[in-house]
Amino acid sequence: MRLLVSGGGTGGHIYPALSVIERLKKVDSDLTVLYVGTERGLENKIVPAAGIEFKTIKIQGFKRSLSMENIKTVSLFLKSIKDAKKIIKDFKPDVVLGTGGYVSGSVLYAAAKLHIPTVIHEQNSVVGITNKFLSHYVDEIAIAFEAAKSQFPSDKVTMTGNPRAQQVAERVSDFSWNKLNLTDDVPTMLIFGGSQGAPKINKSVIEAIPTFNNRDYQVVFATGQKRYDNVMDQLKNVEIGNNIVIQPYIDNMPDLLPKVAVIVGRAGATSIAEVTALGIPSILIPSPYVTANHQFKNAQALVNNDAAEMILEDNLNGESLVAAADVLLKDDAKRKLMSDAAYKMGMRDASDRLIEVMKAAQLKH
């Protein structure tokens, strides 16, 4: 298979693409992949680092308010379609996969107009503007949440889950908490607000640390690279117990996750895929700063299935965080029930399902 992939801007669009590429490499010895992104997005670093051929086109998003900048955006969009068509004609893909972000809008639209088989993957419960636009042109649509189905033409939609789930579920890890000077026989809670950290989550953990010091469970707290020094400065006069480890970032997250008893963090698509694939009980704190409040709706899908607890950011502080943590980490039976519920929601064959959707798109041509 010759596969052209486009998706970018955030890790939530990039990592599902990389996950399905990784799976395809295992099942298709003749696979050739080209990834099209932008110079400004995270894909510009992440994709080449994964050893995948990478090309860029120039595009930007529309401003939601009236702005002269939107005139430039339209001009860039039209040029980007022309550039994408040239890349597509040169590469000659069998199928084109889009995983979201403005760049995929140009590439998938161009591919559809060239009558190349096309598939989009929507990771969230609320459909992004790019995928809404593309849904009228592409052959097949893959979704990770049932709530997204009604937002697309129903005859094109297949529930696949997020490919990140299969990647995480199949990973073999020998990680031990001893590497962080903790013990493997005590429940451990991971608190992670994303690669950049989340100020409100960090503030709440700082408030909670004096109480966490007296708990029988362990806490691993990742502050975010840019916020580590600030957090440690605020904690300089606070005792930090031997059961607590504070780090800027967790760079081996897939290895560490199978050992986590409870995870506290945002409700992005990748996080949801990971916790359900592994059956990790979670305390989700949806970011209120995302389009259409989609993280709340992602989290609600788990809460409705008793697979997670949720704390709204407005209600988050040290006291509410400790209370939620205690409910799960002091009650093995409750934690087991939540773990089972999360595991039932996991789609550990998501990459295989998406590959079948790509094959279906090819059969339409």
Q: What is the pLDDT of residue 302?
A: 97
| Mean local confidence (pLDDT), 335-355 | 97
pTM recorded for the entire structure: 0.89
For 245-262, what is each residue's pLDDT tens digit?
A: 999 998 888 899 999 999
* pLDDT tens for each residue of 117-144: 999 999 999 998 899 999 999 999 999 9
Backbone angles phi, psi at 2, to 5 degrees: -105, 110
Looking at residue 64, what is its pLDDT? 53
Predicted local distance difference test score (pLDDT) of residue 73:
62
CA distance 95 to 70: 31
The alpha-carbon radius of gyration of the chain (Å, integer) is 21
pLDDT digits (tens, 9 = 90+) for 173-211: 899 999 999 999 999 999 999 877 899 999 999 999 999
305 has binding-site annotation: no
Name the residue with tokens 């339409």: 364
Domain ranges of the chain: 2-162+348-363, 170-345
Helix orientation angle between 318-329 and 332-345, rounded to the nearest 10 degrees? 90
> Is 188 known as a binding-site position?
no
The structure tokens listed for 194 are 């994303």
Residue of 185, 339, 192 whose CA lies nearest to 253: 192
Residue 34 DSSP SS3: strand
Name the CATH superfamily housing domain 170-345. Answer: Glycogen Phosphorylase B; (3.40.50.2000)
pLDDT by residue (tens digit) across 86-109?
999 999 999 999 999 989 999 999
Residue 290 binned pLDDT confidence (cut-offs 50, 70, 90): confident
Is 32 marked within a binding site? Answer: no
Residue 317 annotated as part of some ligand binding site: no
> What pLDDT, on the 0 to 100 scale, is given for residue 77?
80
pLDDT of 66 > 70? The answer is: no
Domain covering 2-162+348-363, topology? Rossmann fold (3.40.50)
| pLDDT tens-digit readout, 168-178 | 999 888 999 99
For residue 268, what pLDDT is reported? 93
Mean pLDDT of the chain: 93
Q: Is residue 10 marked as binding?
A: yes
What does the buried/exposed string (b/e) look like for 298-322 if buried means 16 or more CB atoms within 10 Å of the residue's CB? bbbbbeeeebbbbbebeebebebbb
Fold: same for 2-162+348-363 and 170-345: yes
Residue 318 known to bind ligand? no
Tallying the residues shown for the chain, one arrives at: 365
pLDDT score recorded for residue 11: 85
Taking the C-alpha atoms of residue 158 and residue 216, their distance in angstroms, rounded to an integer, is 45
234 labelled ligand-binding: no
